[in-house]
Amino acid sequence: MVYCATVKINRAILPSGRIGLAVSGGSDSVALAFLMTKGGKKKNVAKRFVILHVDHGLRPESKAEYRFVRALAKRLGVPFKGCHATVARRRGESLEMAARRVRLAFFEEQTAKLKLDAVATGHHMDDVAETFLMKLKRASLAGIRETSEVGTIRFVRPLLGCRDAELKAYLEKYGETWCEDASNDDTSIERNKVRHEIIPFLEKSLDKDLVEHLYRISQRNR
Asked if residue 95 is part of any domain, the answer here is: yes
- Please, which residues bridge with residue 52 across strands? 22, 81
Residue 10, pLDDT above cutoff 80: yes
Asked if residue 106 is part of any domain, the answer here is: yes
- Residue 42 pLDDT: 80
Asked if residue 11 is part of any domain, the answer here is: no
Asked if residue 110 is part of any domain, the answer here is: yes
Asked if residue 209 is part of any domain, the answer here is: yes
Phi, psi torsion values for 208, nearest 5 degrees: -65, -20
Alpha helices in 38-88 (DSSP H): 45-48, 62-76
pLDDT band at 221 (very low <50, low <70, confident <90, very high): low
Asked if residue 7 is part of any domain, the answer here is: no
Residue 182, pLDDT above cutoff 90: no
Cβ-Cβ contacts under 8 Å for 204 (sequence gap 6 or more): none
Asked if residue 4 is part of any domain, the answer here is: no
- Residue 96 pLDDT: 86
Give 34's DSSP letter: H
3-state secondary structure of 175: coil
Residue 16, pLDDT above cutoff 80: yes
Number of domains present in the structure of the chain: 1
Residue 5, pLDDT above cutoff 70: no
Q: Can you tell me the distance from the alpha carbon of 12 to that of 157, in angstroms, rounded to the nearest whole number? A: 11
What value does the mean pLDDT take over residues 157-170?
95
Q: CATH number for the domain including 68?
A: 3.40.50.620
Euclidean distance between the first and final Cα of the chain, in Å?
A: 39
Asked if residue 135 is part of any domain, the answer here is: yes
Q: Can you tell me the distance from the alpha carbon of 178 to that of 51, in angstroms, rounded to the nearest whole number? A: 15
Higher pLDDT, 222 or 177: 177
- Residue 84 pLDDT: 95
Burial class (CB in 10 A: 0-12, 13-18, 19+), 16: exposed
pLDDT band at 222 (very low <50, low <70, confident <90, very high): low
- As a whole number of angstroms, the longest Cα–Cα distance in the chain is 50
Q: What is the pLDDT of residues 93-135, one digit of tens each?
A: 888 889 999 999 999 999 999 999 999 999 999 999 999 999 8
Q: For residue 51, what are the domain limits?
A: 16-220
| SS3 annotation, 78-101 | CCEEEEECCCCCCCCCCHHHHHHH
User: Strands (DSSP E) along the chain, which ranges?
Assistant: 19-22, 49-55, 80-84, 118-120, 147-150, 153-156
